[in-house]
Amino acid sequence: EIQVLGDNHGNIVHLFERECSIQRRHQKLVEEAPSGVLTPELRTAMGEAAVNVAKACDYSGAGTVEFLLDSDHNFYFLEMNTRLQVEHPVTELITGLDLVEQQIRVAEGEALVFAQSDLSINGHALELRVCAEDPMNDFLPTIGKIEAYNPPVGENIRVDDFVDAGYDIPIFYDNMISKLIVWAPTRIEAIEKMKDAINQYEIVGLETTLSFGSFVLNHPNFVSADFDTQFVQKYFSHEQVLESEKTLSTAAALLAIELLKTTDKPVIASGERDSDWFVNRRNG
């Protein structure tokens, strides 16, 4: 998807792309910017196409033009969302622009103070939608009281949330609890920072998509940017999760053995959280 921004004076720019292919039930769970597969030429072509869509309807404000990309890198128009998207923070982090501020300025009649040539991509950003649902039970929503809530903190870690310990998740609304966003100079560094942030994030009392986020970030197809909208169907089954846990546990055990050979001090299982991340998350 391509973020666009227009004012009431005929100026329209695009703020590059967001990769949103990690989905369940056609709704996004992991988003990143920029995409790991677009070439500069394709990025320019898709950006220009998005701007042309916005110009065709004299669009003003923030909006998103969504495309589908096939295996041959041909892109096809899907839809336009005439609002701010849930995943707008990743665009903000790579461009340095506050999109909410820009919308207010446009609504007040101001013209954009930058042109397309002034915009560039800086680093890489990832977002995980933290939803109250059970990934191991077909992502069914969960309800109940949040018994403990401690979001991660740190440089280039952002949490957009509205809950705290004691909050009751009801059945009546969207089940998203928060958005966890990170930024780093490179995609690989952003992945590692997101993994650390997820490990810090404590939500006790109900199941969430934090565990799914860990699964995605540790999956080789995600790390190599070789994935599509069928990621969940292809790779996320109960059997595959258990196999991943077994592999990580074996690796942790082998590492502990090697450490025992080189030290006479007790070995603390610091890798336990990584090797058993899914079980630990599901057990709170």
- For 37-74, write each residue's pLDDT tens digit: 999 999 999 999 999 999 999 999 999 999 999 999 99
CA separation (Å) from 194 to 152, 162, 181, 183, 213? 10, 20, 8, 8, 9
The letter for the amino acid at 136 is: M
- For 166-194, write each residue's pLDDT tens digit: 999 998 888 999 999 999 999 999 999 99
Q: For residues 99 and 81, give the distance between their C-alpha atoms in angstroms, rounded to a whole number.
A: 15
Least confident of 101-110, 165-174, 205-214, 266-275: 266-275
- Residues 1/11, Cβ–Cβ less than 8 Å: no
- For 86-126, write each residue's pLDDT tens digit: 999 999 999 999 999 999 999 999 999 999 999 999 999 99
pLDDT value of residue 278: 45
> What residues are annotated to the active site?
83
Q: Closest Cα partner for 213 from 130, 138, 272, 109?
A: 130
For residue 164, is pLDDT > 60? Answer: yes
pLDDT value of residue 262: 63
pLDDT value of residue 275: 40
